[in-house]
Structure 1
């Protein structure tokens, strides 16, 4: 039997205000009071309606490369940057077996809103401390990975773009195992994930992540939580073969450039660490990570530091986020001296295209201030102002950049949203 509890959120004080360490399951449980002992099925959902304005009119501001918004160039006020709605159904078969399915309806890379299957997995509780899941599972790479699409669970209006925008893949198809244990005054949880995923990087280019293996470790003591993650995978991207083959046609110099930047098949490595300290009235959290694709897709280090304070139903906060490119975003490319005119022209075109793509490897910093107001049970209103500054001649995290864009110029972003759970 499908059941839904209507216990008010205000009856669960820990669920109010900023929620940087809570899982989505906890958030929905706070909203509904959780599944009662007699219930076998649970249903819940979440949503965000957000409006975003960017002062950069030569490009679009976006929160994710796989969900490109239209704030700035496209529209003065855009509703597609952060808006989404999701639903989740869970079932507890018995004390050991359970399953969950989550569907999220949001903007996709092809500029349309459509539903996607975010989670679909079965869980077996081997022992009270050991569990195994199989199916489509959220990748636990960063602190908010489990619930970043449920913005109600976030202290901010959105996760810091500089870090969370580096990982367009939020789930994998495979298995994971989690083991909980205690030591040195900390509660530990170690999670091993194995699987793969597909991602539509843009309307023409699709990527496949294969042989993904990751280890994530959480340690909690009172109000402090720390996390560390190491992951690697094989990324195969199709659609750019002609571009790199054209470089190889220029002999050893072109071969060297193709070998350095080709995206056809690359090992990707991720290293991350983060902390959250949340004693109740205030919070501070931060993360840092390096994602190295060893290709034209980038080698970047990103991080942020954020803090806030809670006054009853209000929670002002501030965040500084930064991403750096660990590789040159402009190169000389193919030598053109001594080439026949037609070959020199072709080499020049290839060099121009290569540097255009390198400039899309973001180097950027953002200073954000915002306010969260829990104006009703299960509802939160948020406002956030960002000062975004792309650096090192790059386009930062902007998309659809026009010829009139000037690199290195800071711009402002104003956002307002209503987040809810049901």
Structure 2
């Protein structure tokens, strides 16, 4: 079944030279075919804010170093596809972009897999792939493939896992009115995320990861549902470890109310344990109109970054010119931690006023550290795209972002206060 959305995607994949990767979309998997392709974005953003916050596109990058930055959105991708034999395909994709401070060079490898077309309906891949939890899972770095300057930060900016090492199996089938795709992914991963408030980085390992996706395409419409679960292990830096050790000492004190608060603060310092993610996305693509909307919920065993996230976008094309509107929202599940003001009075009789004051200060510091992980803000943006040459597009976008108190987890050098910011962006996207 040929649909408008599938035709647009196939054209883009051919432009990128990745037909071999998506054999179920194109059917082109001829032996010995070798293709080198690439994509890139040259970007510039400027932020005006009533706070001294700096723009970050996602948790896995350092973010801007000043109000104006060319690093947040700029990136270069290279991709090699090889079909060594009938039914076999391989892909290697490198993405050079700003990452977290202590990210390893290996994290630049977004894809590295071997695929086998079991039949016309079944496809198996072994190696490194992208978790299929977004509509734009495979294309989030390919600016030319996106209508906007960048994916919505409220929805996409939280995701700490960029790649998955393991295996996936996909199955496609056709009904009278639609094309269906189901996929299961299993694997592990190791990524580096940035503690944006303090300019430090953390290593996050996801084990026993399973991703299930189901998509339905009919005409110009695509709907995609995803579920993922993983056992998360964060490697805290030295400062967080010391803070957690101090809190554990407070939990040992025979003051039940203080001990419980200290344990809760310790648990909330960073996520650990089972993480579950569910999302639903809807996309419309025609020659004139385009739109998409996604919503997700993240459940965490510990930490404060769990919550609801979503965005919606609508745009129109006039030959080479496009205009669009995009709005996003993130809402944390848990309220921010409050400073433990009662500790001073409750601990003084037992450990003395100086030690009680020190413990209260540690509790306040822990509450502030945990709150930096909260994402609670909304945004609305307007943009233009001009495809002025084959495989090249110029985009302009302006966003108004309103951030709630203790909800600025997506901003570099964020603070606990609420904030209002305007972001002006321009990008030049290309594929080759």
Partner of 1:267: 274
Count of residues paired in the alignment: 398
Distance 1:350 1:63, change over 3 A: same
- Whole-Å separation in 2 of the counterparts to 1:28 and 1:384: 25
Structure 1 residues 34, 132: CA separation in 2 closer, same or farther (over 3 Å shift)?
A: closer
Aligned pairs (5 A) from 1:100-111: 100-110=91-101
Given candidates 112, 132, 136, the residue that maps to 2:128 is 136
Structure 1 residue 184 displacement after superposition: 6.2
Q: How does 1:251-266 map to 2 (within 5 A)?
A: 251=251, 252-254=259-261, 256-258=263-265, 260-261=267-268, 263=270, 265-266=272-273
Q: Secondary structure in 1 aligned to 2:292?
A: strand
1:288 matched to 2:301? The reply is: no
Q: Which residue of 1 aligns with 2:147?
A: 155
Preserved CA contact (<8 Å) 1:248 1:258:
no
How far the C-alpha of 1:65 sits from its partner, in A, is 1.5
Which residue number corresponds to residue 368 of structure 2? Answer: 356
For the 8 Å contact 2:271–2:303, the answer to whether it is kept is no
Q: Indicate how the Cα distance of structure 1 residues 196 and 113 shifts in structure 2: closer, same or farther if over 3 A, else same.
A: closer
Partner of 1:48: 41
- Counterparts in 2 of 1:350 and 1:253: CA distance versus 1, 3 Å: same
* CA-CA distance at 1:87 after TM superposition: 0.2
Q: 1:366 — aligned with what? A: 379
Structure with a larger share of its residues in helix: 2
- The DSSP-based 3-state class of the residue aligned with 1:257 is helix
Whether the aligned pair in 2 keeps the contact of 1:364 and 1:396 (CA below 8 Å) is no
Task: State the 1:264 CA deviation.
Answer: 6.6
SS in 1 for 2:68: coil
Aligned to 1:409: 419
- Where 2:127 maps in the other structure, the secondary structure is strand
Secondary structure of 2:108 counterpart? strand
Distance 1:108 1:185, change over 3 A: same
Residue 181 of structure 1 corresponds to 173
Of 171, 174, 196, the match for 2:163: 171
Residue 305 of structure 2 corresponds to residue 310 of structure 1: no
Cα distance, 1:259–1:350 mapped onto 2, change above 3 Å: closer
Once the two structures are superposed, the pairs formed by residues 65-80 of structure 1 within 5 Å of their partners are 65-70=59-64, 74-80=65-71
Residues in 2 aligned to 1:103 and 1:357: alpha-carbon distance in whole angstroms: 34
Distance 1:22 1:166, change over 3 A: farther
- Asked whether the equivalents of residues 210 and 228 of structure 2 are also in contact (C-alpha less than 8 Å), the reply is yes
Match for residue 223 of structure 2? Answer: 226
Partner residue, 2:197: none
Any conservation in 2 of the 1:308–1:318 contact (CA below 8 Å)?
Answer: yes
TM-score, reference length from structure 2: 0.86
Residue in 1 aligned with 2:14?
Answer: 29
Q: What is residue 56 of structure 2 aligned with on the other side?
A: 62
Match of 2:255 in 1: none
Distance 2:249 2:7 in 1: 52
Is the Cα contact below 8 Å between 1:28 and 1:421 reproduced in 2?
Answer: no
**Contact 1:310-1:316 within 8 A present in 2 as well:** yes
The Cα RMSD (Å) is 2.5
Q: Which runs of 5+ in 1 are unaligned?
A: 1-13
Query: Relative to 1, partners in 2 of residues 1:142 and 1:34: Cα closer, same or farther, differing over 3 Å?
Result: closer
Shift of 1:244: 2.4
Contact 2:74–2:97 (CA under 8 A) maintained in structure 1: yes
Q: Which runs of 5+ in 2 are unaligned?
A: 21-27, 195-199, 252-258
- Partners of 1:79 and 1:313 lie apart in 2 by 25
Question: Aligned equivalents of 2:7 and 2:276: distance in 1?
Answer: 25
**Residue 205 of structure 1: SS of its match in structure 2?**
strand
Separation (CA, whole Å) in 1 of partners of 2:88 and 2:321 = 40
- 2:249 — aligned with what? 249
Contact (CA 8 Å) 2:272, 2:301: kept in 1 or not?
Answer: no
CA–CA separation in structure 2 for the residues paired with 1:22 and 1:331: 50
Deviates more, 1:345-354 or 1:40-49: 345-354
Instruction: For 1:417 and 1:311, locate their aligned partners in 2 and report how far apart those are by CA, in whole Å.
Output: 20
Matched, 1:214 2:211: yes
Q: Select between 155-164 and 251-260 the one with higher mean Cα deviation.
A: 251-260
Q: How far 1:204 moved relative to its partner?
A: 4.2
Check the 8 A contact 1:107/1:113 in 2, yes or no.
no
Deviates more, 1:248-257 or 1:137-146: 248-257
Q: Secondary structure at the match of 2:322?
A: strand
